């Protein structure tokens, strides 16, 4: 039984992250941008409906199995759906305000200090030219890496599992921050739910 992809509930109020991200941006970002990725993914897969039997994460991990004629549309819109579905969960209000447990230990081991990790991630976010995402991932060797991707490309496409991601498309911050992407990146650190990040890390390590 094939089911089309659906826009996930946000799970919190549009103004819940007001300290860092304004309510209007959240409403448009979730209800218009993310919704469009879901709708466009469904439209693209109409010609290859067996893919509705897979999760969007599975589809992204095996993007080269998607028929060539729709692969770019699935890469862009499936990536958009997967990336945003993760992003909203990471921003869920509450939770610990800093890395802890094994994730903290492994961040210290790889990056030397949490400040250095924060700097490297923030730089990846600030210097991504045009639209894209900054990521903390577990790579194919289960090692932590920070990098950015263009457009809606997902780390899943190269066999990596994202544990933290930041959307740096202008639609994510322009209403409040205009051209000041670094200010948006700085504010992001105040609304990360590290319990959720830790759960993704533990589940995939």
List residues binding Mn ion (CB under 5 A): 167, 169, 172
Q: How near is the Cβ of 32 to Mn ion at its closest, in Å?
A: 10
Q: How near is the Cβ of 45 to Mn ion at its closest, in Å?
A: 21
Alpha carbon distances (Å) from 75 to 10, 57, 102: 23, 11, 32
Q: How near is the Cβ of 174 to Mn ion at its closest, in Å?
A: 11
C-alpha–C-alpha distance, residues 51 and 133, integer Å: 25
Looking at beta carbons, which residue is closest to Mn ion? 167
Nearer CB in complex with Mn ion: 145/151:
151
Nearer CB in complex with Mn ion: 152/198:
152
Sign for the CA dihedral angle at 117, 185, 180, 155 comes to positive
Reading the block at residue 176, the tokens are 């409040």
Residues 6+ apart with CB under 8 A from 76: 37, 40, 151, 152
3-state secondary structure of 153: coil
Q: How near is the Cβ of 133 to Mn ion at its closest, in Å?
A: 8
Nearer CB in complex with Mn ion: 146/172:
172
Nearer CB in complex with Mn ion: 111/135:
135
Q: How near is the Cβ of 87 to Mn ion at its closest, in Å?
A: 7
Nearer CB in complex with Mn ion: 87/117:
87
In terms of Cβ atoms closer than 10 Å to its own Cβ (0-12, 13-18, 19+), residue 121 is buried
Stated as kind and residue range, the H or E segment containing 145 is strand 144-150
Contact indicator for 38, 82 with CB cutoff of 8 Å: no
Contact indicator for 95, 193 with CB cutoff of 8 Å: yes
């Amino acid at each position: 039984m094939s089911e089309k992809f659906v826009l996930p509930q946000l799970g919190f109020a549009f103004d819940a992250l007001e300290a860092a991200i304004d309510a209007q941006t959240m409403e448009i970002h979730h209800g218009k941008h993310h919704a469009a990725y879901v709708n466009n993914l469904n439209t693209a897969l109409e010609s290859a409906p067996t893919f509705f039997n897979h999760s969007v994460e599975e589809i992204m991990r095996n993007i080269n199995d998607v028929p060539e004629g729709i692969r770019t549309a699935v890469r862009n819109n499936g990536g958009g759906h997967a990336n945003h579905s993760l992003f909203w969960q990471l921003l869920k209000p509450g939770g610990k305000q800093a890395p802890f447990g094994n994730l903290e230990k492994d961040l210290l081991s790889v990056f030397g200090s949490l400040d250095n990790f924060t700097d490297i991630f923030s730089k990846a976010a600030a210097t991504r030219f045009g639209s894209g995402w900054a990521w903390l991932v577990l790579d194919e060797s289960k090692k932590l890496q920070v990098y950015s991707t263009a457009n809606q490309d997902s780390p899943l496409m190269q066999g990596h599992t994202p544990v933290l991601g930041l959307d740096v498309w202008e639609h994510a911050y322009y209403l409040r921050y205009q051209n000041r992407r670094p200010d948006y990146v700085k504010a992001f650190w105040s609304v990360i739910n590290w319990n959720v990040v830790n759960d993704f890390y533990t589940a995939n390590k």
